[in-house]
Amino acid sequence: MRFFCVFCVLFGFASAAGALEREAFTVAKYDLEIRLEPEQQRLGARGKITLRNDSAHPQKIAALQISSSLNWLSIRVGGKAVQFVSQPYTSDIDHTGALSEAIVTLPVEIRLKDSVDLEIGYEGVIPLDTTRLTRVGIPEGIAKHTSWDEISPSFTAVRGAGYVAWYPITTESADFSEGNSLFEVVDRWKAREAGSEFKAELVASGVTGEAPRFMICSPGGQGPIAAMGREQQVSAECSWTRLGAVTPTFALANYQDQSKPPFYLFSFPGHEEGARKYSNALEPATKFVSGWFGQPSAAIAIADLADPNSAPFESGTLLMASMTAEDSKLAGINLVHELVHSAVPSSRPWVHEGLAHFAEAMYRQEQGGRQAALDFLGLHRAAFLDSEKEVAAATRKNAGKPLAVTFDETYYRSKAAYVWWMLRDMAGDDALKEAIRKYRAEDDNDKAPKYVERLIEAAARRDLGWFFDDWVYQDRGLPDFHVQSVHPWKTEKGEQFITVTLENLGNAGAEVPFTIFFEGGEITKRMEVRAKATATMRVELPGTATKIVINDGSVPEIDLTNNVFKISAP
């Protein structure tokens, strides 16, 4: 990367064009008409997009990118064709590993925060393509389980930015092999598009075969979830708002429809048993979610994937997952996740996704007890542990990713699940339920940055400012607890006590459970131990203490190897 930048500077001086700021413009609005011809794997698009200059300078050049298997046909401003140069641009943000980039010279310079409307046209094909994975050494057979997007006569499913740039995006090159660069580019894109809107009319023609075809759009706006056509043509009006939280996605297949609106269920012939597991799991999952999060209101959709090994995908309240390999436990958990999205809409990813993953863990607890839920959360810990270790080691300021604003999936899914779980342990079920019931997405905006904190504090009657500071507003890494000292003692009457001092070596505070084992039993208490601090508690015991174990797994810690303390006999 450093070498590349050296060249940037050199060429910057040499070239008249100067440096191209690829992320200067945000696409604030899409209004597209998409024609699909599955037999030819073709996609053709025309329509209007609105570019807003979000950079620090006036801009006259815009870089618009689509998948490298698509080609730019025309770009016009105010009805007049504008000059553009089309070139391939290597980037792993698209499944082909490259983009078709149009470098557009706008008729006038666009000032800061000003917008310009462009009429655009492009077309091409979207076949299955695993290039971005195979070129970093992932075998084709495995790569196609994740990279399953395609337009084909039997099954069409295409996900948006981050998978297939089937609509124009404006991004710097993303690289899979270079650490987190791909995720950083995608996160930046989502953050910039957080408030953008997308309207598309999708029309598939030349659809053949006896069975009806279903066209599905990922929900995320006002549009319908599915449209059905038996004839040669099937079309759907799709709309997506808050592009930061949803990935515009469409699918077209000869699904069997077992929908009971607002619950939509589409499966392939032959996958009846898996589909039945979802149908059967709906009632208990809805009951559980209603009890905690309120009545699910928006429609949810589960759509089948043909390949049983396909990685599942989720956007808004659409889940695409193969129903061949479904077990009933997983079907229940998947439904709980989508139903929470439906019950608690939010444009804050850590609330929207965090609550849904937290609910999955609670549903595990209902089925298999607290330990099952903590084991389930433990799988999430691995996702963000390395990143938090880097935060802990970083010397520069602002190295972390504050949960409140991050678009990093591992944070707003996995870390957020833990944060909600810890809030539940601290506030109690009833108080947290009350806070969630009072939550309104429209109130959770920048005008009230402490909105969620205030709701929970009011319900729990407890100051949680320190916790939100360490876990939500800032990224201070993770705590690291150990027993600093123990002091067993006896009263004159022979009652046994132990004084336990815990130390938190990390930069994030937490309330952590610890269990004292004694002859004939164990007792669990909880202690609030702030960052780089100690806390002490006196506990009465019916026997002589032998061992203390800190943290049952409910607090994500940086180091779990120092959590057991053996007490030697006096």
Give the x-and-dash track for 193-232 against Zn ion (CB under 5 A): ----------------------------------------
Q: Nearer Cβ to Zn ion, position 130 or 334?
A: 334
How far is the C-alpha of 217 from the C-alpha of 237, rounded, in Å? 8
With vertex at residue 256, the alpha carbon angle to CA 250 and CA 258, rounded to the nearest 5 degrees, is: 100
CB 46 within 8 A of CB 153: no
Helices (H), 58-166: 131-134, 140-146
Q: Nearer Cβ to Zn ion, position 296 or 506?
A: 296
Q: Nearer Cβ to Zn ion, position 353 or 457?
A: 353
Q: Nearer Cβ to Zn ion, position 326 or 480?
A: 326
Q: Nearer Cβ to Zn ion, position 229 or 349?
A: 349
DSSP summary character for residue 296: -
CA atoms within 13 A on the CB side of 141: 0
Q: What angle do helix axes 272-293 and 429-438 make, rounded to 10 degrees?
A: 90
How far is the C-alpha of 359 from the C-alpha of 353, rounded, in Å? 10
Segment near Zn ion (CB under 5 A); pick from 18-26, 183-191, 275-283, 353-361: 353-361
Segment near Zn ion (CB under 5 A); pick from 147-155, 225-233, 281-289, 351-359: 351-359
For the CB of residue 315, give the shortest distance to Zn ion in the complex, in Å.
Answer: 8
For the CB of residue 316, give the shortest distance to Zn ion in the complex, in Å.
Answer: 8
For the CB of residue 53, give the shortest distance to Zn ion in the complex, in Å.
Answer: 32
What tokens does 118 get?
Answer: 């462009």
Beta bridge partners of 526: 513
Q: Nearer Cβ to Zn ion, position 303 or 356?
A: 356
Give the x-and-dash track for 84-123 against Zn ion (CB under 5 A): ----------------------------------------
Q: Nearer Cβ to Zn ion, position 146 or 496?
A: 146
For the CB of residue 285, give the shortest distance to Zn ion in the complex, in Å.
Answer: 14
Segment near Zn ion (CB under 5 A); pick from 169-177, 182-190, 350-358, 486-494: 350-358
For the CB of residue 348, give the shortest distance to Zn ion in the complex, in Å.
Answer: 13
What tokens does 525 get?
Answer: 């208490």
Segment near Zn ion (CB under 5 A); pick from 206-214, 249-257, 348-356, 521-529: 348-356
What tokens does 89 get?
Answer: 């641009």
Number of H helices, E strands in the chain: 13, 26
Q: 93 in helix, strand or coil? A: coil
How are beta strands 300-303 and 318-320 bridged, if at all?
parallel
For the CB of residue 164, give the shortest distance to Zn ion in the complex, in Å.
Answer: 20
Segment near Zn ion (CB under 5 A); pick from 234-242, 275-283, 345-353, 477-485: 345-353
Segment near Zn ion (CB under 5 A); pick from 349-357, 487-495, 536-544, 555-563: 349-357
End-to-end CA distance of the chain, in Å?
Answer: 60
Q: Which residues contact 401 (CB under 8 A, 6 or more apart)?
A: 387, 391, 408, 411, 475
Q: Nearer Cβ to Zn ion, position 193 or 353?
A: 353
With vertex at residue 247, the alpha carbon angle to CA 243 and CA 250, rounded to the nearest 5 degrees, is: 125
Output the CA–CA distances (angstroms, integers) from residue 247 to 49, 94, 212, 241, 319, in the order listed: 17, 13, 26, 10, 12
Beta bridge partners of 487: 499
Q: Nearer Cβ to Zn ion, position 122 or 163?
A: 163
Helices (H), 297-414: 328-343, 349-368, 370-393, 409
Q: Which of 426, 508, 525 lies closest to 474 in space, CA to CA?
A: 508
Q: Nearer Cβ to Zn ion, position 95 or 413?
A: 413
Q: Nearer Cβ to Zn ion, position 353 or 557?
A: 353
Give the x-and-dash track for 302-331 against Zn ion (CB under 5 A): ------------x-----------------
Output the CA–CA distances (angstroms, integers) from residue 259 to 300, 301, 343, 401, in the order listed: 10, 8, 19, 39
CB 202 within 8 A of CB 34: yes
Beta-carbon neighbour count of residue 483 at 10 Å?
A: 20
Output the CA–CA distances (angstroms, integers) from residue 210 to 47, 207, 232, 268, 379, in the order listed: 32, 10, 10, 14, 44
For the CB of residue 189, give the shortest distance to Zn ion in the complex, in Å.
Answer: 19
Q: Nearer Cβ to Zn ion, position 187 or 353?
A: 353
Segment near Zn ion (CB under 5 A); pick from 356-364, 452-460, 514-522, 547-555: 356-364
Output the CA–CA distances (angstroms, integers) from residue 296 to 123, 340, 343, 437, in the order listed: 39, 7, 4, 12
Q: 432 in helix, strand or coil? A: helix
For the CB of residue 218, give the shortest distance to Zn ion in the complex, in Å.
Answer: 11
For the CB of residue 264, give the shortest distance to Zn ion in the complex, in Å.
Answer: 16
Q: Nearer Cβ to Zn ion, position 314 or 453?
A: 314
Give the x-and-dash track for 449-488 against Zn ion (CB under 5 A): ----------------------------------------
For the CB of residue 338, give the shortest distance to Zn ion in the complex, in Å.
Answer: 7
Residues 241-260 that bind Zn ion (CB under 5 A): none
Q: Which of 86, 78, 251 lies closest to 163 in space, CA to CA?
A: 251
For the CB of residue 355, give the shortest distance to Zn ion in the complex, in Å.
Answer: 9
Residues touching Zn ion: how many (CB under 5 A)?
3
Give the x-and-dash track for 416-445 against Zn ion (CB under 5 A): ------------------------------
For the CB of residue 342, give the shortest distance to Zn ion in the complex, in Å.
Answer: 11
How far is the C-alpha of 134 from the C-alpha of 149, rounded, in Å? 15
For the CB of residue 358, give the shortest distance to Zn ion in the complex, in Å.
Answer: 11
Q: 96 in helix, strand or coil? A: coil
- Contacting Zn ion (CB under 5 A), which of 164, 174, 238, 356? 356
What tokens does 224 get?
Answer: 């319908």
For the CB of residue 409, give the shortest distance to Zn ion in the complex, in Å.
Answer: 10
Q: Which residue is nearest to Zn ion (CB)?
A: 356
Sites of contact with Zn ion (CB under 5 A): 314, 353, 356
